[in-house]
Structure 1
Amino acid sequence: MFKRLYHLPREARDTLFLLLVIAWTIGPQTAQLPLWCSGMAAAVLLWRGWLAVQGQPLPSRWWLMALLVLATTGTAFTYKTILGRDAGVTFIVVLLALKTLEMRARRDAFVIFFLGFFTLLSNFFFSQSLLTAASMLVALLGLLTALVNAHMPVGRPPLLQAAKTAGWMALLGAPIMAVLFMLFPRIAPLWGLPGDAMSGRSGLSASMQVGTIASLALDDSIAMRIRFDGPPPAQPDLYFRGPVLSSFDGREWRPLRSNFPPHYQLQPELQVQGEPVKYQVTLAANNRPWLLVLDATPTKPEIVGYTPSMSPDLQWLSDQPIADLVRYRATSYPQFRHGPSKLAVGLQDYVDLPPGFNPRTLQLAAEMRRSPELARADTPALVNAVMERLRTGGYQYTLEPGVFGTHTADEFWFDRKAGFCEHIASSFVLLMRALDVPARVVTGYQGGQLNNVDGMWTVRQSDAHAWAEVWMATQGWVRVDPTSTVAPARTGAFQRLQAPQSVFAQALNTMSPGFAINLRAMWEAANNRWNQWVLNYSQAKQLDLLRNLGFETPSWEDLSYVLIALIVLASLVGAAWTLWERYHQDPWLRLLHGAQQRLQRAGLASSAQTPPRQLATLLQQQWPGDPAQARQLSDWLLRLEAWRYAPNPTAATLGTLRREFRQLPWPARQP
């Protein structure tokens, strides 16, 4: 097969290489593209490759029109529009594939090259990871190689030669790109393009229907990375606060919408004590306004470009959704107290239950209240009683509980006796409310994993968690995690949720678990460096760079001045290099090149490799004008060649030849 490919005509070989590069370019986007788009692009590329190998003619324009109409209809049907990011990327991928079916001339190939460059850039709309960047670098070199190969002379030039030229082009352009990256003024981090609101991914949600977190807990992607300034808290104490859900309609938990006037609603009343924990968070984009911090954080997180504010339930929110990778610093106090210390009117919002739901849970609460040991029990005793029921009642922690029915708490307490953290927390809060104890659900992330390579803690989407808070007199809101009673290891250091692994990852873990862990840690550390120094290279870092260069109060204007100065300096260096090369190039070759250009203008074809003697022969054979003029030019060319091979050539003789060159009657340009 390879022998047959080697003996294909050059046009077929170049086409197959270009099709391979196109497939590599659009391959990473298949996860975001509709299934029909990926299938159509693959079918078209395979069809075009078969036509190239078989030497068959390209399809007629009617075929292309039919496929274009089909692609347009599919895009409009899938996205209800042909505009926007997702629809636009889908359409450009299909157009790139279809364009290969009308590649009849070099002009068509150039259109494909530049469509390929645009499609390459569109990959970064969906991912700016280090792996995506490395893949697109290979695609860039492939497209440059195909572009260089298209400009090479006829014959069968080796593809490796074109690849070397493309590599040198990329290396020569890299310093310019590095300077532009570091100094070109920007408003947001790299690719700071707002994502589509409906496309955001997060391990959390603004609401919680029983079962939703279970489906996201198996997502192994990184939600955030934390670097502690000092010793971190114990892993069971790593609770990163997200949305607090206090209103329940029987099916879904939502943030509180109180019916009380503002002066009756509860306030944070946060009091902290003990030693603070200072740390830096690198938060992945989630298209939500949540700033995840440890419980509890009394002061604003330090974040550039956003204005944080704290809600009454201690959740920190930004003034706009987090659409890019961001970093911020925060100071938290693991020892804290918040909420009213005495009964308040606003606490009624946290004991409300929707009518007609979970009748068996309500009956269980009534039975507990009638029991002698709990008839007059305070809130801590009631909490302990419910936790003891979880501990001894045969309840289990599972990653596959499914979505519960109408009476979610009844199913958990009496039927399934198994669930994920959201089922356990929701059922716990509903039972506490039935016992007339104010309670609410808190969602966020719990735990994390230390990366021994760079010393940062990695919190994944699989660490998404839900726990409860109950109100106790004199103490305010107190965290209670019922999941830790059912499965203590879930909030400890020895058992974390594991996402499904590929066959290769499973085999690697089987052969060498330690090597697999270290390899993953090294990759995540490298990817974090990429995030910190490339994706999160913001305007603030640019200004910090200018401060290090001596600017006291740098601004955008200073960035522009430095960039312009570097461009002028680079231009001057290039001009100086050109002049130096001009005066230090072989003067004999420069003189011969001038003669060749003068004769080519008169219609005498020659190449850079044509020697003076052959030029003299062409003059004698093809000169249409005065023979004496031809002999004069031929004599000069022969003396030029003689000087080149003389035993002791002198500069004076070459100077004479140079003066004669300017005085000779060279022919005028032919019309």
Structure 2
Amino acid sequence: MLTRLTTLPREARDTLFLLLVIAWVLLPQVGNLPLWCSALAGAVLVWRGWLTLQSRPLPGKWWLVGLLALTIAATLMTHRTLLGRDAGVTLLVVLLTLKTLELRARRDAFVVFFLGFFCMLSNFFYSQSLLTAASMLLGLLGLLTVLVNAHMPVGKPPLALAARTAGGMVLLGAPIMVVLFLLFPRLAPLWGVPSDAMTGRSGLSASMQVGNIATLALDDSVAMRIRFEGRPPPQQDLYFRGPVMSSFDGREWRPPLFNFSPRGGQGGVGSNLSVAGAPVSYEVTLEPTSRPWLFVMEAAAQSPVLPGYRSVMQADLQWTVNRPITDLVRYKAQSYPIFRHGPTRPVFGLREFVALPPGFNPRTLALANEIRSDPRYRNASNAQLVQLVLDRLRSGYTYTLEPGVYGQHTADEFWFDRKEGFCEHIASAFVILMRAMDIPARIVTGYQGGELNGVDGFWVVRQSDAHAWAEVWQEDRGWVRVDPTSAVAPGRTGAFQRLAAPQGVVAQTLGNISPTLAAQLRATWEAVNNGWNQWVLNYTQGKQLNLLKEIGFDSPSWEDLSYVLLGIIVLAALLGAAWTLWDRTQHDPWLRLLARARRRLAKAGIDSTPATPPRQLAQQVLARYGGGSGSPGQALHDWLMQLELQRYAATSSGQRSQRREIRRLRQQWSALAWPA
């Protein structure tokens, strides 16, 4: 099979290589495209490859028109529109693959090339990770290779030669790309990657149903990274606040309907936040969540600094922004580990936090009445009752990732039947029992803990760190954090005692061979990926202006940025022109072309000296490979004779005509097929 591929005609070989490059470019899109689109694209590429191998004619235009009409209808049914990111990428993939079925002329090939470039860029609409960038760099080299190969019309030039030329083009263009990246003004939103759908990976949900966070705990992907200024707080104090749930329908917890005023709130239950002690300053790099939530360590009194967003603190201390976060963002915040919030005296609005739906958890309600009616606890404070329930949790209850499916009465099953659960089961059962004892309580969701990456010094918070805890109201103190999971499993909020997410085959193999090596490789990769996020994806306008400050500008502006960029472009153009003029005066292009031919012939076993003329080289080629019309040896002989003719039989034509003839000979040399 391999021998057959190497002996294919040039057109068939080039077509198969082009199809392979297109498949590589489209492969990362499979998870973002509708299933029918991925299946259609794969089928069309395989069909086109089969037609090429079998030397079959391409389908007629009515086949293409029918497939195009069918895909447009399918796109409308899937996305309900032909506009927007998802529908546009779907149509782009379909058009690219269908265009390969009418790849008859050179013009058609160029259309396919440039559609391939657009499809390559569309991968960044969904992911700007380092892995995506690396794979698309290979795709870029592949597309440039087929583009360079298409400009070699004579013979059967090896693809390796076109790949070397494409690689040289990339290296020559790399300095220009770096300069444009550093200095081209960031004009949001034109610079940003469009994200027009709520289809990104979410961290926590807007509601909490038993089993929801347990699913997230199986996800070991990064939720956010934190860099502290100075010494970080203890790991057990790292509570990053997210949505607060207080409305309960018997199965599902939801945020309150009215949660807008941090001061007064609904019924006087506002934040009333007061802080003490020294603040903790830190910077968060948050992965896309498609939710308008900012996760900050409890409790942040001032708005996090997030350029381009408008943030506000809700009555329950949760920070939100004016639009969903669909791209990687970075913000600075200050939090006070010592704080107090909420009303310190009973108010009407607290009744909302003791409400329970009728008909649910009768045994839990009976337990609450039993505790309340016990003479020992008749005059107990809320804090004493909380301690009583925590003591109950410490004896006979288990923290597990697989608690099974809970029924209608979730709190009853936890307290009396299963006696095991994940943090959401424990927190929900705890809050229900508190409310049944007429103690205001609510659930807070977010992330707890994290681990320090020793390579780059960032704290990594994963989706598996998603957590749920409780807040209980106490007179003279307000809302007090109570983590009932810590009573069941103290290690959950401590260091290195988490339930582990399942690992892949490679991670398991490395872990079995050397756990230390596996952990080090993971930390190194995450540090590299974090560096990509910090210095490439988060290269903002502020960083551009700071760069100008470092090179001597006192108060840089966009105008200064434009002047620097224009100056570099002009300087580069002048240097290029000067080098070209110097190169023409210092080097004879004919001699360089002859030296290139000598080096290639020497690798083939035909030795020569600098004094050997092209005619003698041509005779050596015939003696070694033989002649004959159309043979590679004859073509090489004829080219060498043309080279000698251009030098020694030159007419009185102008210098421009001679340079044009040298360029023609250089192109022919690149396209020559060498004898085996």
TM-score by length of structure 2 reads 0.85
Structure showing greater radius of gyration is: 1
Q: Which residue of 2 aligns with 1:476?
A: 478
Question: Which of 276-285 and 428-437 deviates more?
Answer: 276-285
Q: Which residue of 2 aligns with 1:356?
A: 359
Task: After TM superposition, give the deviation of residue 187 of structure 1 in Å.
Answer: 3.2
Distance 1:73 1:399, change over 3 A: farther
Q: Which residue of 2 aligns with 1:640?
A: none
Question: Which of 50-59 and 509-518 deviates more?
Answer: 50-59
Task: After TM superposition, give the deviation of residue 589 of structure 1 in Å.
Answer: 8.1
Distance across 2 between alignment mates of 1:404 and 1:124: 41
The residue type paired with residue 267 of structure 1 is: G
The answer to whether the Cα contact below 8 Å between 2:245 and 2:444 also exists between their aligned partners in 1 is yes
The answer to whether the Cα contact below 8 Å between 2:268 and 2:343 also exists between their aligned partners in 1 is no
The residue type paired with residue 474 of structure 2 is: M
3-state SS of 2:376 partner: coil
Q: Which residue of 2 aligns with 1:620?
A: none
Q: Which residue of 2 aligns with 1:518?
A: 520
3-state SS of 2:63 partner: helix
**Residue of structure 1 aligned with 2:339, choices 336, 339, 349:** 336
Task: After TM superposition, give the deviation of residue 88 of structure 1 in Å.
Answer: 1.5
Percent identity, aligned pairs only? 67
Distance 1:258 1:327, change over 3 A: closer
Q: Which residue of 1 aligns with 2:212?
A: 212
Q: Which residue of 2 aligns with 1:284?
A: 287
The residue type paired with residue 223 of structure 2 is: A
**Residue of structure 1 aligned with 2:312, choices 294, 309, 313:** 309
The residue type paired with residue 290 of structure 1 is: W
Distance across 1 between alignment mates of 2:201 and 2:590: 67
Cα deviation digits, residues 406-453 of structure 1 (max 9, x gap): 333233323333322112111211110110101111010001111111
Task: After TM superposition, give the deviation of residue 190 of structure 1 in Å.
Answer: 9.5
Task: After TM superposition, give the deviation of residue 551 of structure 1 in Å.
Answer: 2.2
Q: Which residue of 1 aligns with 2:674?
A: none
Cα deviation digits, residues 86-127 of structure 1 (max 9, x gap): 121122112212211111121111111111100000000010
Task: After TM superposition, give the deviation of residue 478 of structure 1 in Å.
Answer: 1.0
Distance 1:612 1:27, change over 3 A: closer
The answer to whether the Cα contact below 8 Å between 1:190 and 1:538 also exists between their aligned partners in 2 is no
Distance across 2 between alignment mates of 1:565 and 1:116: 33
Task: After TM superposition, give the deviation of residue 205 of structure 1 in Å.
Answer: 2.0
Q: Which residue of 2 aligns with 1:647?
A: none
Structure 1 alignment gaps of length 5 or more: 591-605, 618-632, 638-656, 662-671
Q: Which residue of 2 aligns with 1:21?
A: 21
The answer to whether the Cα contact below 8 Å between 1:189 and 1:539 also exists between their aligned partners in 2 is no
Q: Which residue of 1 aligns with 2:580?
A: 578
Cα deviation digits, residues 193-238 of structure 1 (max 9, x gap): 3423421322212222222222222222211101112222221111
The answer to whether the Cα contact below 8 Å between 2:258 and 2:266 also exists between their aligned partners in 1 is no
Q: Which residue of 2 aligns with 1:457?
A: 459
Distance across 1 between alignment mates of 2:25 and 2:639: 39
Q: Which residue of 2 aligns with 1:610?
A: 642
3-state SS of 2:375 partner: coil
Q: Give the number of equivalent residue pairs.
A: 608
Task: After TM superposition, give the deviation of residue 586 of structure 1 in Å.
Answer: 3.2
Distance across 1 between alignment mates of 2:129 and 2:647: 58
Q: Which residue of 2 aligns with 1:628?
A: none
Alignment of 1:85-124 (within 5 A): 85-124=85-124
TM-score by length of structure 1 reads 0.85
Task: After TM superposition, give the deviation of residue 277 of structure 1 in Å.
Answer: 1.9
The reply to whether residue 242 of structure 1 matches residue 242 of structure 2 is yes
Q: Which residue of 1 aligns with 2:434?
A: 432
Distance across 1 between alignment mates of 2:644 and 2:249: 95
Q: Which residue of 1 aligns with 2:620?
A: none
Distance across 1 between alignment mates of 2:584 and 2:340: 78
Q: Which residue of 2 aligns with 1:493?
A: 495
Distance across 2 between alignment mates of 1:332 and 1:555: 32
Alignment of 1:264-275 (within 5 A): 264-275=267-278
The reply to whether residue 466 of structure 1 matches residue 468 of structure 2 is yes
Task: After TM superposition, give the deviation of residue 131 of structure 1 in Å.
Answer: 0.5
Which 4+ runs in 1 deviate beyond 6 A? 587-590, 606-609, 614-617
CA-based RMSD: 2.6
Distance across 2 between alignment mates of 1:523 and 1:453: 9
Distance across 1 between alignment mates of 2:589 and 2:37: 59
Question: Which of 117-126 and 98-107 deviates more?
Answer: 98-107
Question: Which of 438-447 and 95-104 deviates more?
Answer: 95-104
Task: After TM superposition, give the deviation of residue 536 of structure 1 in Å.
Answer: 0.4
The residue type paired with residue 338 of structure 1 is: H
Distance 1:164 1:264, change over 3 A: same
Task: After TM superposition, give the deviation of residue 160 of structure 1 in Å.
Answer: 0.8
Question: Which of 369-378 and 532-541 deviates more?
Answer: 369-378
Question: Which of 495-504 and 118-127 deviates more?
Answer: 495-504
Structure 2 alignment gaps of length 5 or more: 593-637, 659-676
**Residue of structure 2 aligned with 1:391, choices 387, 394, 410:** 394
Distance across 2 between alignment mates of 1:284 and 1:448: 15
Distance 1:368 1:16, change over 3 A: same
Cα deviation digits, residues 298-319 of structure 1 (max 9, x gap): 2222332223322222222223
Question: Which of 361-370 and 465-474 deviates more?
Answer: 361-370
Question: Which of 147-156 and 18-27 deviates more?
Answer: 147-156
Question: Which of 491-500 and 278-287 deviates more?
Answer: 491-500
Distance 1:197 1:467, change over 3 A: farther
**Residue of structure 2 aligned with 1:566, choices 535, 550, 568:** 568
The answer to whether the Cα contact below 8 Å between 1:214 and 1:401 also exists between their aligned partners in 2 is no
Distance 1:84 1:298, change over 3 A: same
Question: Which of 413-422 and 131-140 deviates more?
Answer: 413-422
3-state SS of 2:8 partner: coil
The reply to whether residue 547 of structure 1 matches residue 549 of structure 2 is yes
Question: Which of 171-180 and 487-496 deviates more?
Answer: 487-496
**Residue of structure 1 aligned with 2:298, choices 291, 295, 307:** 295
Distance across 1 between alignment mates of 2:217 and 2:324: 22
